[in-house]
Amino acid sequence: MNRFLLLKAATIGLLVLLLLVPLSLIEATIAGRAAWRMHVQDDIAATHAGPQVVAGPVLVLPYVETTTIVSPAGREAAPALATRRVERFVLAFPAELVVDGEVEVELRRRGIHQVPVWRAKALELAGRFEPVALPEPPPAAAGTTVAIVPGEPYVAFSVSDLRGFVSTPSIDLAGERHAFEPRAAPPFDGPAVRARVDPKLLATGAPIEFRVRSDLAGMRELSIVPLGGETRVALRSNWPHPSFGGRFLPIDREVGQAGFSARWSVPAIATRARSVLVPTEPTMGNATRVPAAPGDAFGVRLVDPVDIYAQATRATKYGVLFVLLTFGAFWLFEALRGVPIHPMQYGFVGAALAIFFLLLLALSEHLPFAVAYGTAAVACVLLVTAYLSPVLGGRRAAAGFGAGLAVLHGVLYSVLQLEDTALLCGTLLMFSALAAAMLASRRIDWTRFGLPAPPVRDPGRPAC
């Protein structure tokens, strides 16, 4: 057994394990920087409006149901009178709801980090409410009377963050304009506003046309809750990198460098948004109400097309593969050219490969990711090539090794741009590297690896 071969393999394996330490530290640094970016975004959200979910408007008819029970008089006692008052309401959802908005996006910066914030200066919600009436008093037993006392009707409108209102929103009801007030507005249990409705408008029994005008701001996301019998939404923006999410995708969309436009159409039969707003109990005081953002909301999220921390993390996960392929190439060079390479030289090259990922992280925070990757890769390849020139016995051998390392960096960058086929490409890379190593080393006598070559016998001289 070749002890030199075993000792060399053990030493290289130990170096690979040691290089896992800086690679892990670099990955932890990336996670820390990503967490700091999220902290900066939350800090901006604390001074600005956050993601917005728009729900409404909903016509609310509150009333008080008063039940009076008269107990029969006893022989010596007068009749007992008991009264119970229960606050309830009737909801009228829009028969149709048409939402239209132009979303202007700008970047807010805090240090080296930036967050897209948006403003819909003319967000309009239009539609109509069908006639609705209060319920009739239920049948009562003898000695019991039930009375229905109507309250003040209002229109409820909800957004996730009231700070997003740049100006006071208003609603036009049958040609009359009413401003919203920041008051509790059941059925929404959360940030909401309400506008008073003239009872005379309801007494006509005719459909009520409405139009809500709002100047709304937020960051990262805008979603709409489909509360209409037919909800149609049209959004346009100057942001070229939208991500359409929620329970419903647009029926058509156009995305280009100048921005995007998208349209949704959601019928009430396809969503539970209405049902989750109805209290589980009919009482206003004891009802279990839901937040202003039911799960059937849909909309658009403004995404950063290049998440430098996600890509840096993905690149670092290939660090061990980088080291193994480079060390394997070193070992083949030793075996094929007979040039001994000291473990310390393995270690220096491995350190250069590890520092590449830290350099990539640092540069990508100030430069576009492609430029940062190219700069870090060129610096690493030049450093390794210059170092290996005397180690490998000449500039030509070092240049060839550097070219192979440059190809490896180029392949890694291509893999980082892929998502669905990243595993396939990475596996093909490893298979190709293994096949090349096996074919190149198939004639190597590993039993004599590292041992001095046997003396060449002179054919004209007789053997002893």
- Per-residue confidence (pLDDT) for residue 77, from 0 to 100: 58
Rounded distance between C-alpha atoms, residue 245 and residue 249, angstroms: 6
User: How do strand 208-219 and strand 192-196 relate by DSSP bridges?
Assistant: unpaired
In the numeric block, which tokens belong to residue 133? 């009436």
Residue 283 has pLDDT above 50, yes or no: no
pLDDT band at 211 (very low <50, low <70, confident <90, very high): very high
- Per-residue confidence (pLDDT) for residue 439, from 0 to 100: 80
The stretch 283-287 carries a mean pLDDT of: 43
Residue 157 has pLDDT above 60, yes or no: yes
- Per-residue confidence (pLDDT) for residue 288, from 0 to 100: 41
88 and 184 in contact (C-beta within 8 Å)? no
Amino acid at 461: R
Residue 152 has pLDDT above 60, yes or no: yes
In sequence order, what are the residues at sequence separation of 6 or more whose Cβ sits closer than 8 angstroms to the Cβ of residue 159?
A: 52, 53, 54, 55, 165, 191, 192, 216, 292
Rounded distance between C-alpha atoms, residue 208 and residue 12, angstroms: 80
Q: Which residue has the higher pLDDT, 54 or 284?
A: 54
Of all helices (H) and strands (E), which one includes residue 85? strand 80-92
Q: Is 343 helix (H, G, I), strand (E, B) or coil?
A: helix
Question: Minimal CA–CA distance to 254: which of 265, 264, 262, 266?
Answer: 262
Lowest mean pLDDT among 122-131, 252-261, 311-320, 373-382: 311-320
- Read off the pTM: 0.73
What are the C-alpha distances in Å from 415 to residues 21, 262, 318, 363, 428? 24, 31, 10, 20, 11
- Torsion sign over Cα 336, 338, 342, 343: positive
pLDDT band at 289 (very low <50, low <70, confident <90, very high): very low
Q: The tokens 């506003």 sit on which residue? A: 193
Q: Please, where are the H alpha helices in 50-157?
A: none
Rounded distance between C-alpha atoms, residue 359 and residue 374, angstroms: 11
Residue 222 has pLDDT above 60, yes or no: yes
| Cβ neighbours of 276 (radius 10 Å) | 16
Q: The tokens 């036009």 sit on which residue? A: 172
- Per-residue confidence (pLDDT) for residue 231, from 0 to 100: 95
In sequence order, what are the residues at sequence separation of 6 or more whose Cβ sits closer than 8 angstroms to the Cβ of residue 230?
A: 95, 96, 97, 265, 266, 267, 268
The stretch 336-342 carries a mean pLDDT of: 74
Indicate the average pLDDT of the chain: 83
In sequence order, what are the residues at sequence separation of 6 or more whose Cβ sits closer than 8 angstroms to the Cβ of residue 100?
A: 123, 124, 126, 233, 234, 235
Rounded distance between C-alpha atoms, residue 181 and residue 157, angstroms: 10
